[in-house]
Amino acid sequence: MALSIFDITEAHFHENEAKFKRELIAHTKFGAGHGFHGRYKSDHEVLTRDEFNLTPFIKNLHDKAYSQLGSSGGGNHFAEWGIIEFEKKDKVLNIEKGSYLALLTHSGSRGFGATLAGHYTKLAKENCKLPVEAANLAYLDLNTEAGQEYWLAMNLAGDYASACHEIIHNKLSKAIGAEVLAKVENHHNFAWKETWNNEQVIVHRKGATPAGKGVMGIIPGSMTAPGFLVRGKGISDAINSASHGAGRQMSRSKAVKSITKDEMRAVLKDHNVTLIGAGLDEAPMAYKDINLVMEAQKDLIDVIAKFSPKMVRMADDGSRED
């Protein structure tokens, strides 16, 4: 997740929506397997990292990583313009009370990360034989060569994901000619080396995001529900963690079968949200009520500001982008 807050008012955004829509389409690319070619490809120092030469397998993924750098995947990945509201001044970010235009993106390590994960998951299952019912709990010991390889590769993929966000935000900031007042970024569905009970352990936050004391985070709702800029309280009982989003209340297949396009259009209209792309599997009704989720974890985080989506781009479901 990455959030950029700009020196642009809500009124300016609404007066120039056509421009913001045009730039959002021009400077983002969505969909599984999609990337850039030729002069449209971006460069970043992450591509020069030594870890790309760790093994022939990882080295062979360099071209894929290069072509997809600065793009976003399918599913629930998004890039959206929205209005973020601070009810009081935040001294840490040095943001005054008020409402500002912001860009919020959700994206991962693309085909590069997915291929790495698939490869090392297969290796783990081969090396760590478990009963069929527990096969997906197979692991790689960090004291083995394969475990060390995966740890380095996973962190490279995390930094690659961060680079993708950086490129998207830089492109759009330049396109709209705005000053970035503050930027917040955080991982979820990732693993960290941390010390607990005087022992170094690996903490894997699947469906969760870091919420250590003072740690900034972003917890999104849906394409119509608000997201929240938060600061962790560092609650050890929750392993310094919080929810990383609203979470689904409907599977993708159930959403497609039970929600109509007209119902989705009506919800978008009610919330004054412009949608570019996306299928019924990502309809707002498929997600839990973010306000109930936030209420349930108020002991874990402090809400710093509320982000309301106004223009959302996701992977195209076949509809035209015009």
Active-site residues, by number, are: 244
> 26 by DSSP, 3-state: which?
helix
Six token digits for residue 86: 């601070």
282 touches 314 (CB < 8 A): yes
d(C-alpha 192, C-alpha 241), whole Å: 12
Interatomic CA distance for residues 200 and 242, integer angstroms: 21
Whole-angstrom distance between the N-terminal and C-terminal Cα of the chain?
A: 26
- The two structure tokens encoding residue 215: 């740690």
- Across the chain, how many H-helices and E-strands are there? 9, 12
Token representation of residue 256: 């497609």
**Helical pair 17-26 and 145-176, crossing angle rounded to 10 deg:** 150
CB 241 within 8 A of CB 189: no
Type of residue found at 301: I
